[in-house]
Amino acid sequence: MRILVVNPNTSESMTRAIGETARRAASPGTEILAVQPLYGPEAIDCAMESHLSAVAVMDRVLTFGEPYDAVVMAGFGEHGREGVQEIVDVPVLDIAECSAHVAQLIGRSYSVVTTLPRSVAAIEDRLRLAGLADRCASVRSCGLSTLDVDRDPAAAMEAIVAEAARAVREDRAEVICLGCGGMAGLDEAITARLGVPVVDGVAAAVRLAEALVGLGLSTSKVCTYAPPDPKEITGWPLSRHLGAEVR
């Protein structure tokens, strides 16, 4: 089985960290193909960057030249998941929904700890749209940008631990979800500090992707996620004009 794991940011160090986490979570025999867009924001912290990244991610998936059995979108509720579901015939999972689904299997309520305060509302809206908000105790910000988390994981862990502890103490959260793909790999250390289950969305999505592929299930194409009608799209995908191909 081959799973294409797409970091929506163009940060190479973040792609490496996400790829390492995905490989640790994967079952024997599962190959992880960790990639990033060919263009777009280095890190996503607002709606404009998220929408720009969505186009770049769809472009990256469309032009990836190797076979794969599932796609994991490693942005926490970033835009574009539904578009990718329309353009490929394999299961497509995003880490926000996967982490919330897993959290609800192991606790009555969960909280998300994310990056900047401006990301809180976007995650709340995403969980509400997905029907996953009822058991979400809170979405909390650790006060760091996505690049801050990428550049200094040790400092990020301290900020995440502090906010997660408040979620458990003040919001009665029983499970913590890491609300950023750049937080991949911090779950075990935070669990050890707090004694509370911590769900890494990248790891959860990889395992759920394996389950869907193993069950022979994929996205329904009967209506909502049917392929787009053929029509001219001027000037896109942009990767056609960039020259070098990135694996």
Indicate if 225 and 147 belong to the same structural domain.
no
Going from the C-alpha of 16 to that of each of 96, 181, 184, the distances in angstroms are: 19, 11, 10
Query: Looking at the predicted structure, is the pLDDT value of residue 244 above 60?
Result: no
Picking from 167, 183, 200, the residue at the C-terminal end of a domain is: 200
Phi, psi at residue 57, to the nearest 5°? Answer: -70, -45
State the chain's mean pLDDT as an integer: 93
Indicate if 224 and 172 belong to the same structural domain.
no
Strands lying side by side in the sheet with 136-141? 136-141, 110-114, 175-178, 198-199
Indicate if 127 and 89 belong to the same structural domain.
no
Indicate if 91 and 111 belong to the same structural domain.
no
Domain that holds residue 192: 96-200
Query: Looking at the predicted structure, is the pLDDT value of residue 16 above 80?
Result: yes
Residue-wise pLDDT for 112-165, tens only, equals 999 999 999 999 999 999 999 999 999 999 999 999 998 898 898 999 999 999
Candidates 110, 214, 115; CA nearest to 156 is 115
In a domain, 223, yes or no: yes
In a domain, 246, yes or no: no
Indicate if 211 and 90 belong to the same structural domain.
yes
Q: How far apart are CA 22 and CA 7, in angstroms?
A: 11
In a domain, 232, yes or no: yes
Domain count, the chain: 2
Q: How far apart are CA 239 and CA 15, in angstroms?
A: 19
Q: Give the global pTM.
A: 0.92
In a domain, 79, yes or no: yes
DSSP result, 54-104: HHHHHHHHHH--S--SEEEE-SSS-TTHHHHHHH-SS-EEEHHHHHHHHHH
H-run or E-run covering 2: strand 2-6
Indicate if 118 and 131 belong to the same structural domain.
yes
In a domain, 103, yes or no: yes
Indicate if 90 and 101 belong to the same structural domain.
no
Q: How far apart are CA 33 and CA 69, in angstroms?
A: 11
Query: Looking at the predicted structure, is the pLDDT value of residue 186 above 70?
Result: yes
Cβ atoms within 10 A of the Cβ of 173, count?
27
Indicate if 140 and 52 belong to the same structural domain.
no
Residue 29's domain is classified under what CATH number? 3.40.50.12500
